[in-house]
Amino acid sequence: DPGREGPGHGGLCWVGQRLFGAGLNGEITEYDLDLLRPRFSTSAYGGPVWAISSSPQKPRWRSVGPRGRPRPRGPSSPLSRCLLFQAGCEDGTVKMFEILDEGLRFQRNLDRQKGRVLSLSWHPGGGLIAAGMVDMIRIFDAHTGHATRRLLVERGAGALKSREVVVWSLVFLPDHTVVSGDSAGKVQFWDGHTGTLIRSHLVSKWDVLALSATQDGCSLVAGTSEGTVVQFQFISSNVDQDNKDWVRTRTFKNHSHDVRALVHLEGAVVSGGVDTQLVVRPLLDKVEKNTRESACAGSPSPH
């Protein structure tokens, strides 16, 4: 909270013009942006909160009935009339809350997992949720609350095989590709329908901490604990224009330490981290040699 010491944040989440945060104290807080202070707080009742997210602003989810026909939305359908907020907790649960004009109302838990839930991402259609954990990604049906897919994240070879892989960040793309960033320095692309690994890129010796994609899902950036931001694009890698793949296209070095937050806009990337720099990096056709000079660095944040 502004001007107040306390447990670190598990994340921040915008819902329209409202800002929510959650932390390792297990509390979910909405902030009053006019008075710059907490508006309300509620317990997640799952221990420390490691990740938060909200459903798409205009949920397009519909459950599917026999023969693939859409089931009509009944009054009990959780996505038929409200926005939802979710919190990934220490106790292995994903808590679902209904977003009200004044606060949050607990709705239910998704299937409990064995380990803490460290990252979350909704599919833009609103019907599926991806959750990152240690050595694994789970995909949940947002309507039933049940886990439908388990994606196993491979550990390193040799001596690294005994080291757990933490899935720090997830992005669920419109075409049902799930992208993960982990503590082994990998950015991986998964088929969300089948749970199959499509492509794996080793981008760092250290952790991949943050991911962000454009709205159309054709470009993505990853932030690492080395201070680099790596861009991937879904493009044709050869003369066959129909054969598209996720290709690593650019690497920027605008930070000295961990890149903890990213926003991928249509023509720029905004990044922030523990070096207190907020950097707006235009995405130009050609990449300049000195990426620090080509970025617009903001003033250091106050400590």
What pLDDT was estimated at residue 155?
87
Q: What is the pLDDT of residue 284?
A: 73
pTM, entire model: 0.84
> What confidence tens digit (pLDDT) does each residue in 117-168 have?
999 999 999 999 999 999 999 999 999 999 999 999 998 766 667 789 999 9
Query: What tokens appear for 99 in the block?
Result: 């977003």
Q: Does 271 or 78 have the greater pLDDT score?
A: 271
* CA 196 – CA 189 distance, rounded (Å): 9
Residue at token pair 């259609």: 125
Q: Which amino acid is at 37?
A: R
The answer to whether the beta carbons of residues 2 and 35 sit under 8 Å apart is no
Stronger pLDDT, 69 or 113, i.e. the higher one: 113
Helix (H, G, I), strand (E, B) or coil at 161: helix
pLDDT (0 to 100) of residue 243: 83
Eight-class DSSP state of 110 = P
Element (H, E) at 139: strand 136-141
**pLDDT higher than threshold 70 for residue 9:** no
Buried/exposed code over 84-108 (b: 16+ C-beta within 10 A; e: otherwise): bbbbbbbbbbbbbbbbeeeebeeee
